[in-house]
Amino acid sequence: MGHDKLRKFAENETFSCLKQPSSEGVVLRTGEPGLHLQDHPLKGRWGADVFGNDRPIVLELGCGKGDYTVALAERFPSMNFIGVDIKGARLWKGAKYVTENKIANAAFLRTRVEFLEAFFAPGEVAEIWLTFSDPQLKSPSSRLSSPEFLRRYCRFLAPGGTVHLKTDSRFLHEYTKAVVKASDYPVLACSADVYVKGLPAGAPPAAPQQGKLPPVVTEIQTFYEKMFLAEGYPITYVAFTPCGEPAAPDFDEKFWKQAEGGRRSFSHAPHKKQ
């Protein structure tokens, strides 16, 4: 492990806005199949113990360096924002900025998304943002907008709560739309090109934009978003209200994998167009 990572990990321990519980504290080793969780002391207590208020809580899952979480917190002081990621070296940047700039309505949680039910009580979360999540082309159950994950979110998302997906991945965008359609969830807004720059030549046709996009969708750009835009890839968005049991989608995996191409990697670094 490099010295810079060690330095960041050490500094992370000093940030009160960054919570880093061990997995042993929330995962029960029962010997039985499946994931078994026990409640963390912060469950149902984020407003009182972390933010000192009862304002709505918004999560960004897979927040990386936390730039979207921070930007949302700065724009919406009447709400509380929590960035979630498993990578401590990434979270360091956001936690350091929040600490140095005394941003009282932003915090970070270092944990796996699979463990979130141990940290948030029913109805405790008002909104969820999925920003440039890995599309997990080979693992449907690992996609953060899959029925498996939506089922988890519904256990702590308030009634009428919103899930936002903003991504450069047309594959993930279309997959999520298919899940939403199969589940009969209300769609609040949807666009295959939020900046209306036009899809690349040869790209599958997109449905007309649905609903009015929140201004924040185009006002805030993450590190990766800027990279993707510089390479000419459209940014997509869909917002919906999960209500009821999610359903498996009718989705043409092969077609949309071919449409996606081979430009993405797990690190999110885009490949140059050929």
Q: How far apart are CA 138 and CA 260, in angstroms?
A: 13
Which of 111, 205, 201, 214 shows the shortest CA–CA distance to 162?
214
Provide the token pair at 13.
Answer: 């321990």
Residue 119 near residue 43 (C-beta atoms within 8 A): yes
Provide long-range contacts, Cβ within 8 A and 24+ apart, for 135-142: 135/167, 135/169, 135/171, 135/172, 135/175, 135/260, 135/264, 137/171, 137/257, 137/260, 137/264, 140/175, 140/253
CA distances, 46 to each of 82, 95, 119, 188, 219 (Å)? 10, 17, 9, 27, 27
Active site residue: 134, 168, 184, 252, which one? 134
Provide the token pair at 82.
Answer: 């929590």
Q: Establish whether 49 is a catalytic residue.
A: no
Which of 21, 18, 62 shows the shortest CA–CA distance to 39?
21
Return the DSSP state at 48: I
In terms of DSSP bridges, do strands 80-85 and 57-61 run parallel, antiparallel, or are they unpaired? parallel
Provide the token pair at 83.
Answer: 């960035």
Q: How far apart are CA 193 and CA 200, in angstroms?
A: 10
DSSP-assigned beta bridge partners for residue 165: 130, 238
Please give the positions annotated as active site.
Answer: 134
